[in-house]
Amino acid sequence: MHIEEHLEHTEPPKDMKKQIWKTFWILFALTVVDIAVYFQLMEYHSGYKNALFIILGVVKAYFIVGIFMHMKFEKKWLPYLIIVPMIFVMYLITLMVIEGNYTSFLR
Amino acid sequence: MSETTTLTNVKTGTWGGGKSPFSISYGKLMMWIFLLSDAFTFSSLLVAYGFIRHSYASNLVTPWPSPDHVFNHFPFLHGVHLPLMFVSLMTFILIFSSVTMVLAVEAGHRMAKKEVGMYMFLTILGGIGFLSCQAWEWTQFITGTHEGRMLADGSIFHGANLQMNQYGPTPFGDLFFIVTGFHGFHVLSGVVINIIIYLNVLGGTYEKRGHYEMVEKVGLYWHFVDLVWVFVFTFYYLI
């Protein structure tokens, strides 16, 4: 059986170059927000601040994986293949952080 | 009874065989799978980091140090308290090298050999710049500050090694070395692979082959390294 040589790609948008620079400025701005929040709330320690940093990190990851790594333009199975396992990993990290807090009472 | 045979319908669904359900080439799919497994390795380090750091949450004898009191140096500005500034610079260097990489991939689609070469060169420069910054950061961390930490016997300990460090509990130093070291090693291997691909681009290997897919594959790896740094930056320096 002849296997198709030419795989049909979902074509990237025509103005890819423009989109790359747009993504760069988004990533730049998000990092600047990170730094600004860090300096503004240096003495303020709270879970909300940490949650904000993590959300900003995930948003940055979305743009890096989606645009730079081209995942946004691939067939839906590839995102499933990569993202579904990572959701479980994020769950594991959350569980172990909670477990670490309990361990601290035993030290 | 008629003599004509009717063919049973050939399965044509996504998973029916005969074509890639992912619609990408073998090499790129395998690069994605490798990156997934590499993400697991980094996640295991992150799990260890989260667990150990939080297990010091109510430890008042050797509390987990606040990053702004450890990573507050900048080259040529000795003694000035500048938390986060140097790692922010490193972050921007890496993001920018990611952009030049994706521009090389884009030029590859247009078969523009000269542009691919130029952007690959800039990416390599960014990688080397990042590694140099990290070398400086490590030197600063290992040498330590003038104050150091007073030990029980009255002597003063400066800097850090794998057994102890002046900043806080031993795992703080160990995790710094393993997390940033493992990431730095990825950057180093990324730079080496980029140089190989760059030489191939100059030599016209991909021009002859008719496509620049190797640049895309190495690009995937390079963006992954950038992605990991986003989380190292978040978990090690911001929080």
Q: Are residues A68 and A89 in the same domain?
A: no
Contact A7 B20 (CB under 8 A): yes
Query: A43-81 burial by CB neighbour count: b if 16+ within 10 A, else e?
Result: eeeeeebeebbbebbeebbebbbebbbbbbebbeebeeb
Predicted pLDDT of residue A2: 41
Distance of residue B43 Cα from the nearest chain A Cα, in angstroms: 7
Q: Are residues A38 and A59 in the same domain?
A: yes
Does domain B26-238 fall under CATH 1.20.120.80? My reply is yes
> Which of left, alpha, beta for B2 (phi over 0: left; psi -120 to 50: alpha)?
beta
Predicted pLDDT of residue A66: 93
B150 CB-near residues (< 8 Å, 6+ apart):
B156
In chain B, what residues touch A78 (CB-CB under 8 Å)?
22, 24, 29, 32
Instruction: Indicate whether A7 pLDDT > 60.
Output: no
Q: Beta partners for B156?
A: B150
Q: Are residues A66 and A18 in the same domain?
A: yes
Taking Cα atoms as reference points, which of B47, B162, B51, B220 lies closest to residue A104? B51
Two tokens at B90?
């490193």
3-state class (DSSP) for residue B116 = helix
Q: Are residues A19 and A69 in the same domain?
A: yes
3-state class (DSSP) for residue B160 = strand
Predicted pLDDT of residue A6: 46
Q: Report yes or no on A80 lying in a domain.
A: yes
The answer to whether B56 faces chain A, any CB pair under 8 Å, is yes
Residue in A with minimal Cα distance to B63: A104
The answer to whether B41 faces chain A, any CB pair under 8 Å, is no
State pTM to two decimals: 0.89
ipTM of the complex: 0.87
Predicted pLDDT of residue B16: 79
pLDDT digits (tens, 9 = 90+) for B83-93: 889 999 999 99
Predicted pLDDT of residue A8: 47
Q: Are residues A20 and A54 in the same domain?
A: yes
**Section A92-101 average pLDDT:** 92
For chain B, how long is the longest CA-to-CA vector?
A: 104
> Which domain covers residue A84, as residue numbers?
75-107
The answer to whether B89 faces chain A, any CB pair under 8 Å, is no
Q: Report yes or no on A1 lying in a domain.
A: no
- In contact, B60 and A107? CB cutoff 8 Å: no
Long-range own/partner contacts, residues B55-61 (CB < 8 A, 24 or more apart): B55/A100, B55/A101, B55/A103, B55/A104, B55/A107, B56/A104, B56/A107, B56/B169, B56/B171, B57/A100, B57/A101, B57/A104, B58/A104, B58/A105, B58/A107, B59/A104, B59/A107, B59/B169
Within chain B, residue ranges assigned H as helices are 26-54, 85-109, 113-143, 170-203, 205-209, 213-232
Residue in A with minimal Cα distance to B68: A42
pLDDT digits (tens, 9 = 90+) for A36-85: 999 998 888 888 999 999 999 999 999 999 999 998 888 888 999 999 99
Q: Report yes or no on A3 lying in a domain.
A: no
Find the CB nearest A96 among B51, B98, B224.
B51
Q: Report yes or no on A6 lying in a domain.
A: no
pLDDT digits (tens, 9 = 90+) for B2-49: 566 666 666 677 887 777 888 888 999 999 999 999 999 999 999 999
B201 CB-near residues (< 8 Å, 6+ apart):
B113, B116, B117, B120, B212, B215
Q: Are residues A60 and A34 in the same domain?
A: yes
Q: Measured between alpha carbons, how far is B191 from B131 in angstroms, rounded to an integer? A: 9
In chain A, what residues touch B61 (CB-CB under 8 Å)?
none
pLDDT digits (tens, 9 = 90+) for A11-26: 566 788 999 999 999 9
**Section B151-172 average pLDDT:** 89
pLDDT band per the 50, 70, 90 thresholds, residue A1: very low
Q: Are residues A63 and A101 in the same domain?
A: no
Domains in chain B: boundaries = 26-238
